[in-house]
């Protein structure tokens, strides 16, 4: 899901850079307002977690690879605004230091994995957490949250890839950027995520959220929203 | 550092140490690059040419540890695993420190005017 340089046209990556910067400015303000000092080490470790979990490429035998992102678990435990900053830092380090994801596409990659994904995750979690009345609803809601948010982010990435042939073509009909259209990109990205990678994201999200809720319920964002505990 | 912080940190270090699974499993199952992340050469094999924008832009940046290694030519498992772990430790370390400093700055500022 790390879009490399050259796959997106400037018409696509420039607006996404703009959206990324705008949301980050809001995130900074929200973190100032919402987070307390004892969250600081966890914010750092959340970013590190997102970085390392993305290095675990999961293979589809004979096919492609994919990976979890960690945005869902961070959004539930530390809040979606913290996830915006933590995951963005991880993605920028990956692009600059390791060439994983392009430089021109930092805005796009952060938009998909560090903005859209944690917010979808957070809202999905909250909806299911309220609707489900059974015991174990935290784990179930967290799984669904991870599953849906990564699938959504993957399809969004596929749309960004797939609209490139519509935006620009060379005069000889050859592609200038990503050569695959929506009809190819969306099924390819959707199927591999819905059937495998998102399930992994869901399991990771459920296990870690359950562990943290048990270990330190007073630091969990969704349980203490809007309150500052010192 | 409290107990949960210590445990989380140990968990991160363990993940970094076993991170080569992220390259060994795909190798074992004969899986290729992620969808949409093909190199210019792979793309040329797929569609017969390299799109102009990809040709021009794919070399915009030379990352110091490109593809989480120092030498993409050396395919030996030991070499790749070693640099993958090293990359994991460097990357998680940098991400952790940067985000820690950012949040420390943000959250401390806030405390001066509650």
Q: Name the β-bridge partners of A66.
A: A58
Is pTM beyond 0.90 here? yes
Q: Can you give the residue ranges of every domain in chain B?
A: 3-34+69-112
**Contact check, Cβ <8 Å, B22/A177:** no
Q: For A2-27, write each residue's pLDDT tens digit.
A: 999 999 999 999 999 999 999 999 99
CA distance A165 to chain B (A): 11
Looking at this predicted complex, what is its ipTM? Answer: 0.93
User: Quick one: pLDDT at residue B113?
Assistant: 43
Q: How many whole angstroms separate alpha carbon A71 and alpha carbon A46?
A: 9
CA distance B75 to chain A (A): 17
**Contact check, Cβ <8 Å, A89/B29:** no
Q: For B31-57, write each residue's pLDDT tens digit.
A: 989 999 998 889 999 999 999 999 888
**Contact check, Cβ <8 Å, A35/B49:** no
Q: Please write down the HEC assignment for all residues of B2-63.
A: CHHHHHHHHHHHHHHHHCCHHHHHHHHCCCCCCCCCCCHHHHHHHHCCCCHHHHHHCCCCCC
CB-nearest to B51 from A97, A158, A177 is A177
User: Quick one: pLDDT at residue A227?
Assistant: 52
**Contact check, Cβ <8 Å, B98/A47:** yes
Residue A229 pLDDT level (bands cut at 50, 70, 90)? very low
Q: What number of other Cβ atoms are within 10 A of residue B27's Cβ?
A: 14
User: Quick one: pLDDT at residue A4?
Assistant: 95
CA distance B83 to chain A (A): 11
Enumerate the residues of chain A whose CB falls inside 8 A of the CB of residue B99.
43-44, 46-48, 85-86, 89
CA distance A166 to chain B (A): 14
Mean pLDDT computed over every residue of chain B: 90
**Contact check, Cβ <8 Å, A65/B32:** yes
Enumerate the residues of chain B whose CB falls inside 8 A of the CB of residue A214.
none
User: Quick one: pLDDT at residue A83?
Assistant: 98
Question: Is residue A54 within 8 Å of residue A81, measured between CB atoms?
Answer: no
User: Quick one: pLDDT at residue A150?
Assistant: 98
Q: For A216-225, write each residue's pLDDT tens digit.
A: 999 999 988 7
Q: For A70-125, write each residue's pLDDT tens digit.
A: 999 999 999 999 999 999 999 999 999 999 999 999 999 999 999 999 999 999 99
Using 70 as the pLDDT threshold, list the residues of chain B that sit under it.
109-114
Interface test with B, best of A10, A12, A48 (most B CBs within 10 A): A48
Q: How far is CA A172 from the centre of its chain?
A: 37
User: Quick one: pLDDT at residue A79?
Assistant: 97
Residue A211 pLDDT level (bands cut at 50, 70, 90)? very high
Query: Where do the DSSP E strands lie in A94-161?
Result: none
DSSP SS3 for A148: helix
Q: Is B89 exposed, middle or buried (0-12, 13-18, 19+ CB in 10 A)?
A: middle
Helix or strand holding residue A66 (H, E) = strand A65-66
Q: Which domains, from first to last, does chain A contain?
A: 10-224 (1.10.1760.20)
CA distance A196 to chain B (A): 13
Find the residue in B nearest to A54 (Cα).
B22
Mean pLDDT computed over every residue of chain A: 95
Q: How many whole angstroms separate alpha carbon A132 and alpha carbon B17?
A: 38
Of the CA atoms within 13 Å of residue B33, those in its CB half-sphere come to 17
CB-nearest to A174 from B16, B32, B51 is B51
Enumerate the residues of chain A whose CB falls inside 8 A of the CB of residue B49.
174
Q: How many whole angstroms separate alpha carbon A8 and alpha carbon A79?
A: 30
User: Quick one: pLDDT at residue A48?
Assistant: 98
Q: How many whole angstroms separate alpha carbon B68 and alpha carbon A2?
A: 14
Find the residue in B nearest to A55 (Cα).
B22
């Amino acid at each position: 899901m790390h879009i490399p340089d050259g796959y997106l046209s400037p018409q696509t990556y420039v607006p996404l850079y703009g959206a990324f910067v705008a949301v980050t400015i809001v995130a900074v303000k929200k973190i100032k307002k919402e987070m307390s000092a004892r969250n600081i080490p966890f914010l750092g470790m959340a970013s590190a977690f997102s970085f390392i979990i993305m290095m675990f490429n999961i293979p589809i035998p004979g096919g492609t690879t994919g990976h979890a992102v960690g945005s869902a678990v961070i959004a539930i435990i530390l809040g979606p605004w913290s996830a915006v900053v933590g995951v963005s830092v991880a993605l920028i380090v990956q692009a600059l230091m390791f060439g994983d994801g392009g430089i021109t596409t930092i805005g796009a990659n952060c938009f998909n994995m560090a903005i859209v994904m944690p917010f979808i995750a957070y809202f999905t979690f909250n909806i299911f957490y309220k609707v489900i009345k059974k015991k174990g609803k935290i784990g179930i809601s967290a799984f669904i949250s991870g599953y849906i948010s990564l699938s959504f982010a993957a399809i969004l990435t596929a749309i960004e890839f797939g609209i490139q042939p519509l935006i620009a073509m060379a005069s000889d009909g050859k592609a200038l950027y990503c050569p695959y259209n929506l009809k190819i990109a969306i099924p390819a990205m959707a199927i591999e995520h819905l059937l495998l990678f998102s399930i992994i994201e869901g399991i990771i999200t459920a296990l870690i959220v359950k562990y943290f809720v048990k270990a330190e319920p007073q630091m969990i964002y969704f349980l203490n929203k809007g309150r500052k505990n010192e | 550092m409290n107990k949960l912080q210590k445990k989380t940190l140990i968990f991160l270090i363990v993940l970094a140490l076993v991170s080569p699974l992220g390259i060994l499993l795909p190798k074992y199952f004969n899986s290729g690059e992620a969808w949409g992340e093909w190199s210019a050469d792979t793309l040329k094999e797929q569609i017969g040419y390299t799109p102009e924008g990809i040709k021009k832009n794919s070399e915009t940046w030379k990352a110091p540890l490109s593809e989480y290694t120092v030498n993409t030519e050396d395919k030996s498992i030991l070499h790749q695993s070693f640099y993958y772990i090293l990359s994991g430790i460097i990357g998680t370390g940098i991400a952790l420190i940067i985000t820690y400093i950012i949040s420390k700055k943000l959250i401390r500022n806030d405390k001066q005017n509650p």
